[in-house]
Structure formats: structure tokens, C-alpha cells
Amino acid sequence: MGTGIRDNSDFQNKSLDSFSISNVNNGSHGLWIHFCAAYVFTGVVCILLYYEYAYIASKRIACFYSSKPQPHQFTILVR
């Protein structure tokens, strides 16, 4: 197939630069697109985490209320 060895010393810079902010030229609107996409992505992740933690908290509260109180689960402070 090939007759020579490929030079992959600059592979990381060539492959990842097209997906990073370093590929944006000066004066380009690509900076704003990158900023807005990062902002929206962060907002979506925060909303998903909020709903997931609310769901987990409701499940914990439901579990606490559905079980009978066990005396060995409580601590008594004696002074």
C-alpha cells in the first residue's frame, strides 16, 4: 500500500484545531457562535441537573415517609 512512513508529529494540532476556538479568524462572527453555543450548552446541562436532583430528592423523601421509624436510626444527645 504505502511506500513511506507518514509524519504524524503535528497530528493533534491538525485534527483538533478545526473544532476549537483557535480556528476562528480575527473579526469573524464565529467567536460569537462559539460563545453562544457554550452558553446554551451550559444552561441545558444546569437545567438537566436541576430536574435530576429534584427527582432524586423527591424519591428520597418518599422513601423516608413510606418506611416505619426505627428506633436504632435515631441519635439521642444526653447532657
Span 7-45, pLDDT tens digits = 666 555 566 666 677 777 788 887 888 889 999 999 999
| Residue environment code for 14-49, b if the CB has 16+ CB neighbours within 10 A, otherwise e | eeeeeeeeeeeeeeeeeeeeeeeeeeeeeeeeeeee
Q: What is the pTM for the complete model shown?
A: 0.56
Are residues 24 and 30 in contact, defined by beta-carbon separation less than 8 angstroms?
yes
Task: List all residues 6 or more positions away from 62 whose beta carbon is below 8 Å from its beta carbon.
Answer: none
Query: In the chain, pLDDT over 90 holds for what percent of residues?
Result: 32
